[in-house]
A = this chain, B = another copy of it.
Amino acid sequence: MAATTPAYRITDLFAERARNIAPPTYSTELTKITTVSFTYGLADPILFPHAHLATASAAVLAEEAPLALNYGPPSAQLYEQIILRLQAKGITTDRDRLIIGYGSGQILGLLPDVFVEPGDVVIVEGPTFLGVVVRFVQAGARIITIPVDELGMDVDALEVTLSDLKKQGIRSRFIYTIPTFHNPTGTTMPLFRRQKLVALAAEYGVLVVEDDAYSDLRFQGEIVPPLATLDKEGWVLYVSTFSKIIAPGIRLGWACGDPAIIERLAMFKSEGPVGPFVSHVVARYCATGKLENHIQELIACYKHKCNLLLEAIAQEFPSDVVAKRPDGGFFVWCKLPSYISAKALLMAASEHGVSFLPGTRCYTNGQGDDAIRLAFSFQPTQNIVEGIATLGAVLRGWRH
């Protein structure tokens, strides 16, 4: 009996879905470590409210340890604080319409479980945040891309697509959009387009997934109401996060929308509710009211970095590279002249220690080699100036 059978292998036991390892979402295309990375939308660590979180942690552990450290749901106060934040944006909600997850990415990643069977149509923006969209692709969704222009998603093109699909008897599952300080383009969709988008959702019976990670970080311009405030019939699922306004490392995001969706997201969030400890700490911090001041500090800092980046670009880049000034968020999108490939540019720039996200990493279909995304959020100001000077030199010396 003790004789082993070498013919057996662990890997034979894997289910079909586990036989092949999916490639990581962000495999680096670079072999070198760059000194100045404009690649990822990381928060600036200098801005983390670590002292306030320490105060909150100490208070939670001194006063709420029995609840915060045992099994159980997230802090009730965290639900209240999120509901208050949503109210301030004009979104009326309650606990039955709200789910808290380990980052908004977790919740967005659960959407395919609820909505997508292989071949189902999901509509995304082009360019878009591929970190989320790759999850729809992995679930077997048929991705249809609607272009983004200066005013965000082209809702007229969306209408044509929805109408065409309807003629084919196809009802898209959902439309994934980042209407405010769009990732990667920085664009903000104006009210008239938002109204049309929500009306189209109702007309065609398609869910709109509004990813609103950045809207608190507005540097300029008027506030535009979230899609969720324009929706009277539950066709919008609103998703947001503490990652950009407190810290990503606490891993807390949320979604609010139709209770039937929330219930199912919770069902597929199979490890159960988010951690009591972290949820109590963040709730306690929010309840002090200090988060609002903190957000003002973030805005001042990121606005400064954005301006610095744009000034450096104006000084250093050839005039046929067109950078778009965002009203907020983490990113500047630059369109390249036709003779420069974003991927080739990345290879060349990385040789000089500078990296960024090529536009090809913002499309599922290989488009985007004509643009790059520069994240100004993470780098110290000095690096921004130096990095853009380096990139400018590479661009100016481009052979064409």
Q: Interface on A for B, CB 8 Å cutoff?
A: 1-5, 7-18, 21-22, 40, 42-43, 45-46, 48, 50-51, 53-54, 57-58, 61-62, 65-72, 101-103, 105-106, 109, 112-117, 120, 135, 159, 171, 173-174, 196, 199-200, 202-207, 233-235, 243, 247-251, 258, 260-261, 263-264, 267-268, 270-272, 274-278, 281
Contacts and interface: CB of A to CB of B under 8 A. Distances in A.
B113 A17 contact: yes
26 contacts: A1-B199, A2-B203, A4-B202, A10-B234, A10-B235, A10-B260, A11-B260, A13-B173, A13-B206, A15-B113, A15-B115, A16-B117, A17-B113, A18-B115, A21-B263, A42-B70, A50-B62, A54-B62, A68-B249, A70-B247, A70-B249, A102-B272, A105-B271, A109-B270, A249-B277, A251-B271
Given A103-B272, A272-B105, A50 B71 contact: no
A104 B241 CA distance: 25
Contacts of A70: 42-43, 45, 48, 247-249
B260 A275 contact: no
A155 B236 CA distance: 54
Contact of A61 (B13, B50, B113): B50
Contact of A72 (B249, B268, B272, B277): B249
Contact of A199 (B2, B204, B233): B2
Contact of A249 (B207, B234, B275): B275
B58 A200 contact: no
Contact of A247 (B57, B105, B206, B277): B277
Count this chain's copies in the assembly: 2
Contact of A14 (B17, B50, B264): B264
B247 A109 contact: no
Given A4-B203, A8-B202, A8-B205, 14 more contacts: A1-B203, A4-B202, A4-B233, A13-B205, A15-B114, A15-B120, A16-B117, A42-B71, A45-B70, A50-B61, A50-B62, A54-B58, A54-B62, A70-B248
B101 A271 contact: yes
Given A2-B203, A54-B62, A249 B13 contact: no
Nearest to A4: B202
A277 to B, nearest CB: 5
Interchain residue pairs A-B with the least CB separation, the first 5: A8-B205, A45-B66, A106-B271, A69-B247, A249-B276
A16 B48 CA distance: 42
A254 to B, nearest CB: 13
Contacts of A112: 15
Contacts of A263: 21
Nearest to A51: B61
Nearest to A269: B271
Contacts of A7: 205
B15 A116 contact: yes
Contact of A258 (B10, B174, B250): B10
A22 B267 contact: yes
Contacts of A204: 5, 8
Contacts of A67: 45, 249
Contacts of A251: 271, 274-277
